Structure 1
Amino acid sequence: MKVTQHLWFERDMEAAVRFYCALIPGSSLDWLSTVPGDTPSGPDGSIGLAGFTLGDQRSMAIEAGPLDPFNHSFSVMVECDDQAGIDRLWDALPEGGTAEQCGWLRDRWGLCWQVVPKRLGELMADPDPQVGRRVTAAMLTMVKLDIAALEAAARG
């Protein structure tokens, strides 16, 4: 079996997919298509479809007008190796969107993202439960996550 995330865009699906693929290393736009013939969502050619690979995850997108807006119940989490990776994504993704607490943001299309350092998981997995508590407390005060500050919290 293969599992593919499917994203429904009200508008600008192709622009969103191209932006995501350009932003995340190892990504590709695999195909674009329109649905022929009139459909309940619109006239001939008004529905766009795309298949793309985002990092190591297969995804599909559709642009077919308003249905349900994106919300936090589905998000794309990107784990970055270093602060430079976090900073690069954080500079690009919230443009036209909103930054949120704890490494969350919403892009201009409304899709929710979590931009986190790989180091966060390592610190949270420390055998000393106090390290995890201090790291969590520090993270809860941040918008964009800061690896140096998380490591300082881990040290106490």
Structure 2
Amino acid sequence: MAKNTICLWYDKDAEAAARFYAETFPDSAVSAIHRAPSDYPSGKAGDVLTVEFTVAGVACLGLNGGPIFKHNEAFSFQIATDDQEETNRYWNAIIGNGGQESACGWCKDR
């Protein structure tokens, strides 16, 4: 694991998010999925607790921490592209997967 890892809090969709990023951006992958060894107050044995993944070479940890904290535009991945075609490909992947257009040319994933 990298010395500095971005931790992203999810309600319960860390694995789906990590797989989406890995399929969408180059130099991205899911490297480990950690499951609960037994039942716990808000879940069952086998539930995904954390997911280790990279997005464009940046180490990330997805934490299924529950509904307490919500994602917003205060955190974002900024991906440099070589041309408009590459930009459009990422934009369409994000918007086409339940994302939304946002202000000033930004978009947010689901």
**Contact (CA 8 Å) 1:41, 1:47: kept in 2 or not?**
no
1:105 equivalent in structure 2: 107
Q: What CA distance in whole angstroms lies between the structure 1 residues aligned with 2:18 and 2:67?
A: 17
Q: Structure 2 unaligned runs (5+)? A: none
Match of 2:104, SS?
A: helix
TM-score by length of 1: 0.62
Once the two structures are overlaid, the 10-residue window that deviates more, 64-73 or 50-59, is 64-73
User: What does residue range 63-74 of structure 1 map to in structure 2 within 5 Å?
Assistant: 63-74=64-75
| Deviation, structure 1 residue 42 | 2.5
Q: Which has the larger radius of gyration?
A: 1
**Contact (CA 8 Å) 1:35, 1:49: kept in 2 or not?**
no
| Deviation, structure 1 residue 47 | 4.0
Q: How many residues align?
A: 108
| Deviation, structure 1 residue 35 | 2.3
Match of 1:75, SS?
A: coil
**Contact (CA 8 Å) 1:42, 1:64: kept in 2 or not?**
no
Q: Does 1:89 align with 2:90?
A: yes
Q: What CA distance in whole angstroms lies between the structure 1 residues aligned with 2:79 and 2:42?
A: 32
Q: Structure 1 unaligned runs (5+)? A: 109-156
1:48 equivalent in structure 2: 49
User: What does residue range 113-132 of structure 1 map to in structure 2 within 5 Å?
Assistant: none
Residue type of the alignment partner of 2:109: D
Residue type of the alignment partner of 2:23: A
Give me the identity figure in percent.
Answer: 36
| Deviation, structure 1 residue 97 | 2.1
> Aligned Cα RMSD in Å?
1.7
Q: Give the structure, 1 or 2, with the largest relative contact order (CA under 8 Å, sep 6 or more).
A: 2
2:25 equivalent in structure 1: 24
Q: What CA distance in whole angstroms lies between the structure 1 residues aligned with 2:47 and 2:12?
A: 10
Match of 1:74, SS?
A: coil
| Deviation, structure 1 residue 68 | 0.7
| 4+ long deviations beyond 6 Å | none
Structure with the higher fraction of residues in helix conformation: 1
